[in-house]
Amino acid sequence: QENDDDGGTRPGASAPPGAGPLAGAGPLAGRRAIVTGGASGIGAACVRELAAQGAFVVVVDRDAEGAGVLAKEVDGEVWAVDLLETGELEDLALEADILVNNAGIQVLSPIEEFDPADFRRIHTLMLEVPFLLMRAVLPSMYRKKFGRIINVSSVHGLRASAFKAAYVSAKHGLEGLSKVAALEGGPHGVTSNCVNPGYVRTPLVENQVADQARVHGISEGEVLERIMLTESAVKRLVEPSEVASLVGWLASEQAGMVTGASYAMDGGWSAR
Ligand code: NAD
């Protein structure tokens, strides 16, 4: 964050790139990564994966405590921020080689009962914030002629699901934004891709079980089998570390020709 002169939280102020525990030891040594929603679930797994590959990682989350514990574990940095306060992001300039747009929330409701405030909140966090963060990191990536933007989309970025109007439409929007960033970034050495997990074993999914039971009119016991596993040929939830390994590869030097793509990790769901 180059233009923060108020003495507040300053991602980038406390440690140089490559200062993580494995600095110099892995393929991402010397790289600086920013992971939103990095305190939990898929984001936390991405933080660990990128750090294990030698990157210096900034854990961005509104959960300051969780982010702090993880940043300490990987010798990274915390940026404790509620990303819905988008005013904080509008004039931001961030030094980063890797941006993982991951923070997300879920609200289930039929459209006619969907609270417009929830719809806006989801679109802000899952579409506008990735745009604002791309805007903040791209100038430094273009200068260095290297950048990796990895957008944690969902199987719902490519396929719809009832009762998820805001989530599905925000993720579909993120797919489009990711492709535009790929086209603009290509000549500058910057790639932009989506990863599209099916149901992943995280707090977001665990908290969804009761909501799914309510909107579909089935018991909580039936939700996992009927909603979450039916679509998967592999018949299990995805593990956060599995998504993180794909993110780690997309961040690598070797993935330079992979851009504007969307990678399913859904146990075969989208093959149906
Ligand atoms: P999670 O709930 O475990 O973690 C989300 C993190 O984002 C939390 O640490 C939370 O504090 C943070 N966060 C939420 N709102 C924030 C805000 N306003 N400002 C800052 N931080 C905020 O969720 P998860 O399951 O790991 O999901 C991460 C991403 O993966 C989301 O974009 C989600 O849509 C996507 N995804 C999840 C699944 C799944 O099954 N879990 C499947 C496909 C895609």
| Ligand 1 residue neighbourhood (C-beta within 6 Å) | 37, 39-43, 61-63, 82-84, 102-105, 125, 152, 154, 197, 199-200, 202-205
pLDDT class for 233, splitting at 50, 70, 90?
very high
ipTM of the complex: 0.99
Distance 187 CA to ligand 1 centre (A): 31
pLDDT, residue 11, reads: 56
| 14 has a pLDDT exceeding 80 | no
Residue 167 annotated among the catalytic residues of the structure: yes
Q: Reduce the DSSP state of residue 145 to 3 states and report it.
A: coil
pLDDT, residue 24, reads: 57
CA–chain centroid gap for 197, Å, is 11
- Taking only the tens place, the pLDDT of each residue in 88-121 is 899 999 999 999 999 999 999 999 999 999 999 9
CA distance 104 to 236: 22
pLDDT class for 6, splitting at 50, 70, 90?
very low
Residue burial 169-208, b: 16+ Cβ < 10 Å; e: rest: bbbbbbbebbbebbeebeeeebbbbbbbbbbbbbebbeeb
Q: Which residue has the higher pLDDT, 124 or 203?
A: 124
Q: Which residue has the higher pLDDT, 182 or 219?
A: 182
Contacts 24+ apart (CB under 8 A), 16-20: 16/56, 17/56, 17/95, 17/97, 18/54, 18/55, 18/56, 19/56, 19/75, 20/51, 20/54, 20/55, 20/56, 20/57, 20/74, 20/75, 20/76
pLDDT, residue 231, reads: 87
Distance 170 CA to ligand 1 centre (A): 13
CA distance 105 to 123: 10
- Reading phi first (left if > 0) and then psi (alpha if -120 to 50, else beta), residue 196 is in beta
Angle at 213 between CA 212 and CA 215, to 5 degrees: 65
| 255 has a pLDDT exceeding 50 | yes
**Residue ID of nearest Cα to ligand 1 atom 32:** 104
Distance 44 CA to ligand 1 centre (A): 10
| 13 has a pLDDT exceeding 80 | no
| DSSP state string for 3-67 | T--SSS--TTSSS-TT-STTTTTSTTTT-EEEEETTTSHHHHHHHHHHHHTT-EEEEEES-HHHH
Mean pLDDT of the 222-241 span? 90
CA distance 26 to 144: 20
- Angle, helices 165-185/116-123, rounded to nearest 10 degrees: 20
Residue burial 18-51, b: 16+ Cβ < 10 Å; e: rest: bebebbeebebbbbbbbbbbbbbbbbbbbbbbbb
Contacts of 120 (CB under 8 A, 6+ apart): none
